[in-house]
Amino acid sequence: MVTHGALTVYAKIKPGMVEQLRLKLYEIHTPPNDIETNPIVPFKSITTIHFARFVILEEAKDLKGNTISPSLVLSTNYDKPLNKHIEELAQIAGAGLEEIFNYCVGFERGDDLAAFIKKHKMSCAAFYKGTPYRSVPRILREAELREDIANYIDKQVKSDKSFNAHTLRNKIVEYVNSEKRYAWICNKENPTFLWKVWFLISKIFCVLTITPVAVLAAICGIIPIRIKERQDSSEKNVLEEEKILKLVNEEDKIVQNQLTHLVDIKPGWFRLITLKFVLFIINLLAIYKFNKGELGSIPSIHFARWVIIDNGRRLLFFSNFDGSWENYLGDFVDIAAVGLTGVWSNTVDFPKTKFLIFEGATDEQKFKTWTRAHQIPTQVWYSAYKLLSVQNINNNSAIREGLTGAMSDKEIKDWLKRF
Amino acid sequence: MVSNIEFKDIQGLIVRGYNELPASCFLLLNITDVVKARQWLRIISEEITDGISKPTQKAVQVAFTYAGIKKLGMGESSLRSFAREFKEGMTADHRKRVLGDLGESNIAKWQWGGPANEEVHIMLMLYYSLEKSLEDDCAIQVSKFNGVQLIKRLDSNLSTLQKRKEHFGFLDGISQPLIKGFSKQGDPRFMVEPGEFILGYGNEYHKLPDSPWVSGAENQSDLLPLLQDGGNNYDFGKNGSYMVFRQISQDVLKFWKFMDDATNEGGSDEEKRVKLASKMMGRWPSGAPLVKCPERDDPAFAEDNSFEFYHADRDGLKCPFGSHVRRSNPRNSKGPTPEESDLINKRHKILRRGRPYGTYIESFDPVEIAAHSDLLKDRGLHFICFNTSISRQFEFIQDTWINNSKFQGLYNDPDPISGNPLGRCKSETGSFTIQAEPVRERIKDVPAFTKVIGGAYFFMPGINAVKYLASIR
Ligand code: HEM
């Protein structure tokens, strides 16, 4: 069984080096290079990476007017364990990563790359995964398997008109079993029974301890929050056309898209604590509730993470999702407004909220404008399976599971619908 | 219910489709002399058909591209207040992936509106009851042109229109959103807020849609109302709407030949052919929805629009997930629950006002079609729709539903009628899956039967706003 991790490496860029670093990153995906095979970070060869990105956080001023110097963030969604992932990074892309981190404070050529990565690793405040327990090789294998069976069905249906659901499944199972290259289907890649029991116990423990705390926090927090909300100045989000163009020019090139979003957290300890608490709850929900491919009914998110950076001054959000920005943001507004408002109402310029979680994101135009205003360009972005949606990946696994064991007639009928 | 909608200021095409005026032509104009063009526009503005009149002889409408409004002299800051999609235009480089304007639909090959064509500024739309009056009056209109120059004339065709068929032979113009405050009312669950189609009214989020404005300093006339945001800007957008125009060419022979090849098992079979095409469309040629009569066409249901998918056809066994009608309006089948789906669906609606062009070949038989004397003439659809948010409505439908090969859990199935998977999936063809028991039928290598050969984003202002444009100095 494989679980997913979110690695966030945050490093300050050496003074005056931003532009050179930008050029280096540009080189990674610009012809004659391409993102998958380029000699700097040949992503396709790194088998533990689902999605990866490099982002430059430009020099900025915090709310007090202090300068935040520019930094580089490397993010990966990887197959655990972390050590093995970092080892693979160093082994396959060591030279390229050294070149890149050489532009960062605290790293000089020849330094220990793995140690640097570990030292600059930030923990996420919340992490959501849409395809749990699926390693990259597993996702690719299962996609191939599904396509092959689908072709087999096409042929079978043409040659024999008299089949029924039962005989068809038997034929498919027989076919797959006869192919040596599919020997892996019997491998156990899902959580074991023992693991499930442990998971259930921890879930119950969590619900029992967190619920009263959350209720108490809500009761204590509600009035100060309302007071603060009413004092919030109205939002002033201006869209810079040039930046928006930069963003959209990189969108809609493959089945998935990415979003990098960076915004100042409202001043004061109260907002920071509220934010941390909401993200803590979201993280638990992501672990215990939204663990079957949907984040609050949104079926299109592969990975999403929130990271609080710069000593609680800024909130960084990364996500990888299927389809367009418009669709993604629309889902946010239409289906998940409460959760998102709960998080981002603690950041500046967010559309007006009520009681932390209401209104806010439901103001569709303002919410979309706010999101674009704080979205930042991602210099390098990689997807290990650019033609697969979350729904595809999870459906492929269900197809694979249906190849072993006994099934009732109803189960067979439902299973065949998956093609 | 007394409606607060100012039909008198709204251009009539937004209110009605002018079925009684089947003869029409669209004139694409380029402004050559701004001062004269404004004078000409002032005269035209008196002729514009409003949303109250029910014309039986003639109707006139006018719409502008961003370049056109800029040319007419609107100020910088006011120009910025238009929607980004409109400002960038239909052919902005990144938009081709969203709209699928790649491959055969590549904007470089367009006949108008593309980067290689003359810049379109204004579209004058003329509708008549008789073809003869169209010819006569159109000539008069052209002779009156002053400061504007005709780039191209787009005609729509009577023979298809009178039967209300599009060129593949299917009844069109059946399903339209029902709008609150309009005369035609229906089930309140499906009534859509007017602000989805007309600026200045509440939308489906119970907010006023962002509307283009002119600053107080710039507004020398009393034609525009004050913007309802407390500031000193005037609402240029009020009673106007963004109009999407796409000329989509249809390859009728390719379409029916493909249907024939895919169903031809030891002999050509019209019934099978039509059934496959109907599976792709989601309605039969008569218009009858597949959900209501999955096995064969039944003209008794021709105009039926009272169907849903969630309860009647959750697994797509009657109307495939990938069919044009199901994906351009998934009704209650998109989740999370059917009720929420209905609600969310109302945020992705367009008001369609398109018309077919070119001569109609009335046949489902590729041999007959191939032999037709008019075969080589171009035919297709002048796709026209109105919305107040191009990105959330038209572009969303085109991208997230129509072009998207992953729609509703599918793998490689773009819309067989008007989809193009080149943007994200980089493939020229897609498959089409017909959900069935015990197992689906999958048709592979479905090519594109349509291609876009011209188009632009327009703004169709309220009548007073047109007068405002004419009054700019
Ligand atoms: C040549 C291309 C096209 C053809 C031949 C075509 C044909 C049709 C037909 C026959 C119908 C069913 C009649 C009806 O419900 O009114 C229909 C419905 C519809 N089409 Fe198209 N169409 C084309 C392009 C498009 C495009 C580009 C869009 C939008 C981006 C679109 C959006 C719709 C919508 C929203 C409906 C109504 C669905 C419903 O409410 O049930 N169509 N089309």
> Over the stretch B404-419, which tens digit does the pLDDT of each residue have?
999 999 999 999 999 9
8 Å CB contact of A245 and B94: yes
Beta bridge partners of B467: none
Tell how far the Cα of B324 is from the centroid of ligand 1, in angstroms.
7
Asked if B396 and A327 come within 8 Å (Cβ–Cβ), the reply is yes
Residue B174 CB–ligand 1 contact under 6 Å: yes
**268-327 of B, contacting A, C-beta below 8 A:** 315
- Of A387, A247, A320, A248, residue with least CA distance to A75: A320
Judgement on whether residues B388 and B287 belong to the same structural domain of the protein: yes
The residue with tokens 């032999």 is: B371
CA distance, residue A124 to nearest chain B CA (Å): 28
Ligand 1 in reach of B324 Cβ (< 6 A): yes
Q: How confident is the model at residue B141 (pLDDT cuts 50, 70, 90)?
A: very high
Average pLDDT over residues B322-334: 96
Q: How far apart are CA A139 and CA A149, in angstroms?
A: 15
Q: Strand B191-192 vs strand B178-179: parallel, antiparallel, or unpaired?
A: parallel
Give chain A's radius of gyration (CA, Å).
23
pLDDT digits 0-9 by tens, A35-60: 999 999 999 999 999 999 999 999 99
Distance set, CA A406 to CA A169, A192, A402, A419 (Å): 11, 19, 9, 19
Q: For residue B154, what are the β-bridge partners?
A: B26
* pLDDT tens by residue, B84-139: 999 999 999 999 999 999 999 999 999 999 999 999 999 999 999 988 889 899 99
Cβ A255–B391 below 8 Å, yes or no? Answer: no
Ligand 1 centre and the CA of B56: distance in Å?
26
A127-153 b/e (C-beta count within 10 Å ≥ 16 → b): bbbbbbbbbbebbbbbbebbeebbebb
Residue B348 shares a structural domain with residue B446: yes
At A234 the pLDDT is 65
Centre of ligand 1 from the C-alpha of residue B330, in Å: 12
pTM of the predicted model as reported, rounded to 2 decimal places: 0.97
Question: How far is ligand 1, taken at its centre, from the CA of residue B321, in Å?
Answer: 15
Q: Of ligand 1's atoms, which has the minimum distance to the CA of residue B244?
A: 30
Across the A/B interface, how many CB contacts are shorter than 8 Å?
Answer: 99
Which site among B84, B88, B91, B411 would you substitute to test the A interface, given the most A Cβ atoms closer than 10 Å to its Cβ? B411
Measuring CA to CA, how many Å separate A402 from each of A173, A411, B11, B164? 9, 9, 58, 48
CA distance B331 to B342: 6
- Name which of B84, B435, B437 is nearest A413 (Cβ-Cβ): B437
B439 contacts on A by Cβ (under 8 Å):
153, 157, 165, 168, 416, 419
CA of B325 to the centre of ligand 1 (A): 6
Give the model's pLDDT for residue A226.
Answer: 87
* Separation of alpha carbons A155 and A30, rounded Å: 41
Is the pLDDT score of A33 beyond 80?
A: yes
Q: With a 6 A CB cut-off, is B453 part of the ligand 1 pocket? A: no
Which ligand 1 atom is the nearest neighbour of the CA of B167?
Answer: 5
What 3-state class would DSSP assign to B298? coil
Q: What is the DSSP string of B410-449?
A: -SS---TTT--THHHH--S-EEEEE--SSS-EEEEEE--S
Q: Are A56 and A379 in contact (CB under 8 A)?
A: yes
* Subunit contact B400:A333, Cβ cutoff 8 A: no
Q: Once rounded to an integer, what is the mean pLDDT over residues B63-69?
A: 98
Residue B1 lies in a domain: no
For Cα atoms A135, A140, A146, give the angle at the middle one, nearest 5 degrees: 120
Domain residue limits, chain A: 4-133+193-383, 136-188+389-416
pLDDT for the residue numbered B1: 45
User: Is residue A248 a contact partner of residue B391, using CB atoms and an 8 Å limit?
Assistant: no
B390 located within any domain: yes
A212/chain B closest Cα distance in angstroms: 29
Answer whether A177 touches B (CB < 8 Å).
no
| DSSP tag of B221 | S
Share of chain B above pLDDT 70, in %: 100
In this structure, are B226 and B315 located in the same domain?
Answer: no
3-class secondary structure, B167: coil
Does residue B99 sit in the same domain as residue B219?
yes
Residues B222 and B336 reside in one and the same domain:
no
pLDDT given at position B192: 97
- Looking at CA atoms only, how far is residue A199 from chain B in angstroms? 27
Place of tokens 């012809």: A31
pLDDT tops 90 at residue A223: no
| DSSP H/E element including B128 | strand B122-128
In this structure, of A228-242, A273-287, B395-409, B435-449, the range with the lowest mean pLDDT score is A228-242
Minimal C-alpha gap between B396 and chain A (Å)? 7
Of B347, B400, B438, the CB nearest to A416: B438
Number of domains in chain B: 2
Q: How far apart are CA B400 and CA B334, in angstroms?
A: 12
Residues 6+ apart with CB under 8 A from A121: A7, A8, A9
* Percent of chain A topping pLDDT 70: 100
Average model confidence (pLDDT) across chain A: 94
Do residues B207 and B392 make contact, with C-beta atoms less than 8 angstroms apart?
no
Residues B427 and B464 in one domain: no
| pLDDT at position A205 | 92
CA A105/CA A114 separation, integer angstroms: 15
Inter-chain residue contact A362 with B205, CB threshold 8 Å? yes
State the Cα–Cα distance between residues A11 and A349, nearest whole angstrom: 27
| Arithmetic mean of pLDDT, B31-60 | 97
| H or E, element range at A198 | helix A193-231
B342 assigned to some structural domain:
yes
pLDDT of residue B332: 96
Residues 6 or more apart whose Cβ sits within 8 Å of residue B457 = B65, B66, B85, B86, B89, B90, B242, B243, B244, B245, B390
Binned at pLDDT 50, 70 and 90, residue B217 comes out as confident
Residue A43's pLDDT is 98
Write the DSSP string, B263-277. H-SSS--HHHHHHHH
Half-sphere exposure of A134 (CA within 13 A, CB side): 30
When mean pLDDT is compared across A6-10, A328-332, A365-369, B419-423, the lowest value belongs to B419-423
Residues B314, B224: one domain? no
Q: Tell me which of B98, B99, B170, B172 to substitute to probe ligand 1's pocket, judged by most ligand atoms within 8 Å of the beta carbon.
A: B172
Interior/surface letters B246-280, b for 16+ CB within 10 angstroms, e for the rest: bbbbbbbbebbbbbbebbeeeeeeeebbbbbbbbb
**Structure confidence at residue A235 (pLDDT):** 67
What local confidence, expressed as pLDDT, does residue B59 receive? Answer: 97
B400 to chain A: which residues are within 8 Å by CB?
323-324, 326-327
Tokens of B418: 């008007």
pLDDT band at A219 (very low <50, low <70, confident <90, very high): confident
Among candidates A83, A344, A356, A379, which has minimal Cα distance to A221?
Answer: A356
Query: Are residues A165 and B440, on separate chains, in Cβ contact within 8 Å?
Result: no
Burial of A196 (0-12, 13-18, 19+ CB in 10 A): exposed
**Is the CB–ligand 1 distance for residue B190 below 6 Å?**
no
Q: pLDDT for A253-276, tens place per residue? A: 999 999 999 999 999 999 999 999
Nearest CA to ligand 1 atom 30: B398
Q: Which residue of B has its CA nearest to A367?
A: B205
Residue B448 Cβ inside 6 Å of ligand 1? The answer reads no
How buried is A201 (Cβ within 10 angstroms: 0-12 exposed, 13-18 middle, 19+ buried)?
A: exposed
Give residue for tokens 């407004």.
Answer: A337
Q: How many residues does the structure list for chain B?
A: 473
pLDDT at B2: 53
pLDDT at A159: 85
Residue B168 lies in a domain: no
Q: Report CA A296 to chain centroid distance, whole Å.
A: 15
Contact A365 B391 (CB under 8 A): no
For residue range B255-298, what is the model confidence (pLDDT) as tens digits?
999 999 999 988 999 999 999 999 999 999 999 999 999 999 99
Which chain B positions have a beta carbon within 8 Å of A389's beta carbon? 406, 409
Q: Which two tokens stand for residue B290?
A: 């597949």
Both B439 and B308 in one domain: the answer is yes
**B438/A164 Cβ within 8 A:** yes
- Is the Cβ atom of B173 under 6 angstroms away from ligand 1? yes
**C-alpha dihedral (B205, B210, B211, B217), degrees to nearest 10:** 140
User: Are B257 and B403 in the same domain?
Assistant: yes
Q: What is the pLDDT of residue B3?
A: 77
Q: Is B290 in the pocket of ligand 1 (CB under 6 A)?
A: no
pLDDT at A236: 77
Transcribe A89-137 into DSSP letters: HHHHHHHHHHHHHTTBTT--TTS-HHHHHHHTEE--SEEEESSTT--HH
B348 assigned to some structural domain: yes
> Which chain B residue shows the shortest CA-CA distance from A165?
B438
The whole-chain average pLDDT of chain B stands at 95
Distance (Å, rounded) from C-alpha B213 to C-alpha B226? Answer: 9
The answer to whether residues B213 and B318 belong to one domain is: no
> What is the distance between the alpha carbons of residues A255 and B424, in angstroms, rounded to a whole number?
5
B211 and B284 share one domain: no
Distance CA B277, CA B323 (A): 9
User: Is the pLDDT at B162 greater than 80, yes or no?
Assistant: no
The arithmetic mean of pLDDT across residues B172-184, rounded, is: 94
Nearest to A292 by CA among A393, A205, A208: A393
Select the residue of A153, A334, A365 nearest B439 (Cβ to Cβ).
A153
Cβ–Cβ under 8 Å, residues A265 and A350: no
Asked whether residue B160 carries a pLDDT value surpassing 80, the answer given is no
Q: Is B427 on the interface with A (CB under 8 A)?
A: no
Task: Ligand 1, residue B402: give the atom nearest the CA.
Answer: 30
Same domain, B447 and B464: no
DSSP 3-state assignment of A355? coil
Those of residues 297-326 in A touching chain B at CB distance below 8 A are: 297, 299, 322-324, 326
Tell me how crowded residue A231 is: count the other CB atoms within 10 A of its CB.
Answer: 7
Structural domain that includes position B213: 12-162+205-240+459-471
